[in-house]
Structure formats: structure tokens, C-alpha cells
Amino acid sequence: MIRTITTEKKPIKLWLDDIEEGALTQAKNLANLPFTFKHVAIMPDAHLGYGMPIGGVLATEDVIIPNAVGVDIGCGMCAVQTSRTTIRPEELKNIMALIRGEIPVGFKHHRKAQDSRLMPRPPAGHTLSGLPLVAREYENGLTQLGTLGGGNHFIEIQRGDDGHIWIMIHSGSRNIGFQVANHYNKVAIALNAKWKSEIPPKWQLAFLPLSSETGQRYLAEMQFCVDFALANRKLMLERIQEIFLAVVSPVSFAPPINIAHNYARLELHFHKDVLVHRKGATSARDGEVGIIPGSQGTKSTIVRGKGNRDSFASCSHGAGRIMGRKQAQRQLDLHAEIKKLDAQGIIHGIRGKRDLDEASGAYKDIDKVLVAQADLVDVLVTLQPLAVIKG
């Protein structure tokens, strides 16, 4: 931890010293909520979000806040070590071409519904009909299962300092998560207005009591979205593994590492059961293996958590943005960003100004982000990108 702010009702513990003004204001809002437990934790990749900073960790008593989970519920990472220690450029290009043909990206979906047996089941004690948003979007979800999505989502082939070739995927819950998040945030806003909540609407932190039927329904629909996002990554991974087998056989795969970074979960901290919201932050319990990716063209890491109690056993979910998407498109030099990737021999997708929103220049230095959280995780494997598909 780098510093603690004690000017608000609850302390704010920060793992960075260069937080932007808007994100700091949001952190202070969190620290002044009446149901915030103990303190607020801000990870080193933190930047401005809706209501709560991305890279924030908030534990609450008796309430859940949809905007403290975010719109891409269950978004997360998976990574797999392959048995391959080398891969030829022509093999890599063939693999990437086949992935592009197999996995829809951006707003594209599969033309046909995927096998419904691959979809998650409703959480224990719930039925599909009891999850209204999920039930409404279920059929659409069957065509979105096994698709990458857009924004900062990616598929990357990497070389690890363990000598192995790795596969890494970053993706989320697609439109199901978006619909659930937006619906329940609007419901929370309306209910908070009805109750004349003391929390200013401009904070964008409308809440739902956990004891309420609506709060429990959101918690269940949120969990389905977390499970859907995991099923989505698993299906993409299976198809990428099939492509590897077709191109570079023989090859085998270690068990996948999976970690989510937009969700809320009941956990025990400081001898109390609380609801931990992680928005752009991942769980880093003692001994837990996770993933901290860099940006396009920079290294990613496989990490092991240290269970730091001050971070509610959490760590960053990536490098973190230093520029908004439009700002990056305006300010970054297209030729310089392409040159950086080409110099490393990385197969990439930056072709025009529109692609600069996901250039490495739009992100923080991953080395500094990792140094700032040395008390949260240990680095197990460092992964250098070989080829990248961006959403």
C-alpha cells in the first residue's frame, strides 16, 4: 500500500500515488457511504468509472450496488499453458487466421445457437423463470456464447518465461450482463428516490438492500452472468485448443486458470461477513492463482495472491487506462504505435486511428503497476505477446 486518505468517514487505502481527480472523487464518495465496511481499497490500475472507480474494491454491509459491479458482469481472464515450447511464424499466422474464422468479435454473434447444455444453470434455489432479465435474453445468449465481444477484450498467444507457449482470453458476459446491470441500476435509482435516500444521485451509487426481494434477484441474476462469462471463455478456449491441435499437434494443455473482475461476493473479512464488490479488481486470496494482463504489446503475468487483508484479498485486474478511448484516438501517434508492435514481431490488429483506443500508449506501465502491488501478489510467470486479436 502506498498511502491512506483519512479525511472521509472511512479511510481510503491506495496502491497508487497518481490517481486521477475524477477517480479520487469517486473513491471519496464510496468512503462516505453509510454502509461501507472498514475502508475502501483502490488498486494501482484504478481509473474513472461509472459511480465507482474501475480498480476499486468496496465491502458493504447489507446492501449491493449495481454500479459497483459494473456493466460487463463477470468479465474476466483465462490462461492456459500449452506443452509447446516453440511455435513457427507460419504456424502462428495459421492459428490466428483460424481463430478469426471461428470466434466472432465485436458486436458479431454466431449465426446459429450454441448447445444449450453449455449454458450455466441458475444459481441454487432459483429457476430460469425467476430470473426475468436472464430469461428474456437467454435465446440471444445462445448465439453470444463463445464470442469475444469488443472494447478491451482480446485473445492472445504468448511466450512465457517458463519456456512454454500460452493462450490467454479476456472476455465477459456480453449483452446479458449489460442488460442485467442497466436494469437493476435503474431499479435502484427509482427505489432510492422513493426512499429519499441520503446518497446524492450524482454519485451514481444507488443501492439495493440485500434483504429485499429485488436485491436477492439482482444477486442471482448477477451470479448467472458471472457463470455465463466463464462459460463463454471456456467455449472460446476449447475451440482455440482444437485449432492448436489441428495446426501444431502434438500438443497438450494444462488446466485453465480463470479469474473474474466485475462481481460482488459474500466473504469473511475482519471477522465479519460482508459483500465485497470488485469492479476491475480480482480476488487474490492467499495462494490463489490469478492473472494480471498488460496492454496490447506489453507483458502479462500469472500471479499468486498473498491474501492482504487491507485490500480485502484483492489485486489489480490489469494495467489500467491513462487515456479515454476517444482521447487515445486523438492523441496517440498511429505510426509510432504500429512501429512498437512491429519491432517486437507481434501479430496485431492496429490498422487505423480507430484502433488506437486499445494501443499500449493508452495504458499505464505494467511494470509500475506490478511494483505497486508487490504486497498483494507474487509473479509466477511472465508472458510476452506473440499475436493478438482485439475485440
Going by C-alpha positions, the residue among 305, 230, 301 that lies closest to residue 75 is: 230
Instruction: Report the alpha-carbon distance of residue 198 to residue 192 in Å, rounded.
Output: 9
Q: Which long-range contacts (CB under 8 A, 24 or more apart) does 7-11 make?
A: 8/32, 9/36, 10/36, 10/38, 10/39, 10/40, 11/39, 11/40
Q: Is the previous residue joined to 200 through a cis bond, with omega within 30 degrees of 0?
A: no
Instruction: Report the alpha-carbon distance of residue 75 to residue 174 in Å, rounded.
Output: 9
Instruction: Report the alpha-carbon distance of residue 196 to residue 200 in Å, rounded.
Output: 10
Instruction: Report the alpha-carbon distance of residue 28 to residue 24 in Å, rounded.
Output: 6
**What's the distance, CA 17 to chain centroid?**
22
Going by C-alpha positions, the residue among 265, 180, 57, 208 that lies closest to residue 199 is: 208
Cβ-Cβ contacts under 8 Å for 101 (sequence gap 6 or more) = none
Partners of 274 in the beta sheet? Answer: 267
Residue with cell 481499497: 41
Instruction: Report the alpha-carbon distance of residue 11 to residue 5 in Å, rounded.
Output: 6
Cell numbers linked to 355? 484502433
Residue with cell 478511448: 325
Instruction: Report the alpha-carbon distance of residue 28 to residue 46 in Å, rounded.
Output: 14
Instruction: Rounding to the nearest 10 degrees, give the CA dihedral for residues 49, 51, 53, 56.
Output: -140
Cell numbers linked to 269? 473479512
Residues assigned a catalytic role: 317
Instruction: Report the alpha-carbon distance of residue 108 to residue 391 in Å, rounded.
Output: 10
Going by C-alpha positions, the residue among 23, 45, 16 that lies closest to residue 366 is: 45
